[in-house]
Amino acid sequence: MSYIQLKIKVSGNDELAELLIAQLTVLEFEGFEENAGFLMAYISQENYPSDDVETLLNNFSVPFEVKLVAQQNWNAQWEANFSPVIVDDFVAIRANFHAPITTTQHEIVITPKMSFGTGHHATTYLMLQLMASIDFQQKSVFDFGTGTGILAIMAEKLGATKILAVDCDEWSIANSAENFEINKIQNCTLLKASTAETNEQFNIILANVNRNIILENLQYFVNSISVNGLILLSGLLVSDVSEIENALKKLKKCTLQKLIEKDGWVAMQWCV
């Protein structure tokens, strides 16, 4: 599979980089990295919305370059720059070429690829923070948009006994399967699917995707959540909160238990 690489000059402006990541995520970009004053954004060639990207970046008045790259050409470079992520004293996420981290309660080892969800992005970090205070013992979990599989791996480490992890991207499925094997995950079923439609019921639903995908799948989440179940949502900006809240409350009586924020992104914990 070939990918489009956008090289956007941000000149060390972290706020600009975060805004661009937010907007490009909505356009279905799959991976980001910052390097020497540039933001690199990646999307499969077949999904590249050239007109929307040009309009967006012209509105921000930022110089950019577009390059077609083979998956392996940029993935190896990204792996080389991958650094461990530590979420409070709860969990450390590292690659197999890093030394073990013993200062946290849990450790997840992944093969770093451009699949979404390595812990570096604020939304994955926020989801893990929410998971730290939830009882997963003997629970069933639906991880929608699993990416690297980190949230599903964390769910099993916290005691979940039945996990369904879903993603629409073949590469993410392959990367998740690899990471499940590394972390000796035994209770997780991995499935390629583009929606959250399922006939199963779950105690906890995890969805770290984006606003549009969440809105499109809210009814499926509501249909699949058990009584007094928890729905954790992220991939959302602060400005998305009211829209998500209104949409969910129209579908089901529910309570927003927690709302946490990092770098303009939010994660929401709902009891349904």
Dihedral angle of Cα 67, 28, 188, 226, to the nearest 10 degrees = 170
List all residues 6 or more positions away from 239 whose beta carbon is below 8 Å from its beta carbon: none
DSSP 47: G
Q: Which residue, 96, 114, 106, 92, is CA-closest to 40?
A: 114
Query: Angle of helix 122-131 relative to helix 150-157, nearest 10 degrees?
Result: 20
Q: Do 52 and 25 touch, CB atoms closer than 8 A?
A: no
List % helix, strand, coil for the chain (3-state, nearest 5).
Answer: 35, 35, 30
Q: Do 189 and 165 touch, CB atoms closer than 8 A?
A: yes
Dihedral angle of Cα 219, 224, 228, 230, to the nearest 10 degrees = -80
208 marked as part of a ligand binding site: yes
Q: Do 271 and 257 touch, CB atoms closer than 8 A?
A: yes
SS3 20: helix
Strand partners, 107: 92
217 marked as part of a ligand binding site: no
Element (H, E) at 94: strand 91-95
124 marked as part of a ligand binding site: yes
169 marked as part of a ligand binding site: no
Give the residue ranges of the annotated binding site. 124, 145, 167, 208
Give the residue ranges of the annotated binding site for S-adenosyl-L-methionine. 124, 145, 167, 208
